[in-house]
Structure 1
């Protein structure tokens, strides 16, 4: 059975507060596991010295916090492993490899990967090939560092490379690395309308290693209970499948940025009523 300790906080909606505030906040709430969004203003690697990273690691250890997924900002930054320009892809691969090494240093076993934007006026077969080649390169670093890579499907507004569980499953098979895994996002799947959590469980099986468990209207990435998604059904399905991964609270709606701790407390209260 899924336990409350499998719920992971994330710092996305804490961006108007310092990273120290986020660490103190989740400690106050009693959450021990975090997904660390690696972006400005909190943790943009280009602005962090080795000593800064060492200090961050120390702060998390002092609070008893463990990073269970490192998520580099890759949606609005110039990152795309499916871009036609080989130099662009090369830089994107290097970006992910640097973050894999950082995940390893932080004793974090997972780093989230997405395809990046892909042009609609470029042949989809070529786009898929570039993405597969890039993931193969990234996986070599992941294998060396012992880090797993859950890849996420997005809506077609973000990319048309991965929009379904079947896309993820097919790419895992084609890349052929045991470090390439899959991520399910309850709100994204509702927006795309292509899959349910049952489809992700069936398609990915043990390769489903992380779930962004959030509500939506659909859309919004809301606190569980504030939207209209069938989250109790999703939780039951994950329970019945024997899911052992974490449930990440990727709260993105701007309504939460002024009082992020309340949103986190409200989320935890929803789970406390339903988990042991």
Structure 2
């Protein structure tokens, strides 16, 4: 491709969540990975349990394996993390998880975190959920600016976030009004938002607020090994190439099918994505 480069690809520890952090990092380095999206989950680095020492140790291990962290992503779908919760205690605790994720990013010399904007009960008024999300993200964005951190917001079904399509991301970014807040695209969840990648790019103000990309194959949704779904990933990468997208293209390969052999899942996806971009 003309503008995308293979050195924008980031490997990740997403599929290694049943293995130790040492195993995951050694595997990612062995396959030639350079950039890393760090998935903060148990047993690698659970935000609720991690001490300052734990964070420093994880950062040191990443560096010792020759990896550069480009994004810190705390687990926020399977864990009870919800910054738009109507429960004040739950919202406060969830905000604290994201604050610790930003502190982890600082320790890892990383300038990006990926967060979800929060959700409410499905029988609750959308505007009430939105208001709580705006308040929480406003606080987090202000703090991110002091840390020198950027936050990328992702779409997902309504059960996981109030940002169910790219236009809502743009609306949220504009309402919060912080230079630290951005949008992102996940190829494997575009089906949930009923968008093509061209729609998503357009919704994110023609890519102006696009700061991160997750890549996984889908049927049409899911996070399968590249080549094992039916998404036209070459077309999707071409769309990013056309807008001269310059940030990370991160492999989110996260599916129970790959629990027994995460290295195969990540290495195969890494090699196949390089071939698409070359």
TM-score by structure 1 length? 0.95
Specify whether residues 19 and 5 from structure 1 end up closer, same or farther in structure 2 by C-alpha distance, changes over 3 A only: same
Of 63, 66, 86, which aligns to 2:65?
Answer: 63
1:59-109 CA deviation, whole Å, 9 max, x = no partner? 222222111110111112221111122332222222211211121111111
1:212 aligns with 2:214: yes
1:25-59 CA deviation, whole Å, 9 max, x = no partner? 11111111111111111111343333332222222
Match of 1:166 in 2: 167
Of 11, 14, 17, which aligns to 2:16?
Answer: 14
Alpha-carbon deviation of 1:157? 4.2
Q: In structure 2, how many angstroms separate the alpha carbons of the residues matched to 1:212 and 1:80?
A: 21
Aligned residues, how many?
274
What is the RMSD computed on CA atoms of the aligned residues?
A: 1.4
Alpha-carbon deviation of 1:179? 0.3
Q: In structure 1, how many angstroms separate the alpha carbons of the residues matched to 2:202 and 2:62?
A: 36
Match of 2:90 in 1: 88
- Partners of 1:156 and 1:192 within 8 A in 2: no
- Partners of 1:10 and 1:34 within 8 A in 2: yes
Match of 2:184 in 1: 183
Trace 1:1-276 onto structure 2 (pairs within 5 A). 1-159=3-161, 161-193=162-194, 195-204=195-204, 205-276=207-278
Q: In structure 2, how many angstroms separate the alpha carbons of the residues matched to 1:16 and 1:199?
A: 36
1:182-225 CA deviation, whole Å, 9 max, x = no partner? 111111112332x1111222222221111111110122211111
- Partners of 1:104 and 1:145 within 8 A in 2: yes
- Partners of 2:11 and 2:37 within 8 A in 1: yes
Match of 1:248, SS state, is: strand
Q: In structure 2, how many angstroms separate the alpha carbons of the residues matched to 1:87 and 1:253?
A: 31
Alpha-carbon deviation of 1:111? 0.6
Unaligned runs of 5+ in 2: none
Unaligned runs of 5+ in 1: none
TM-score by structure 2 length? 0.94
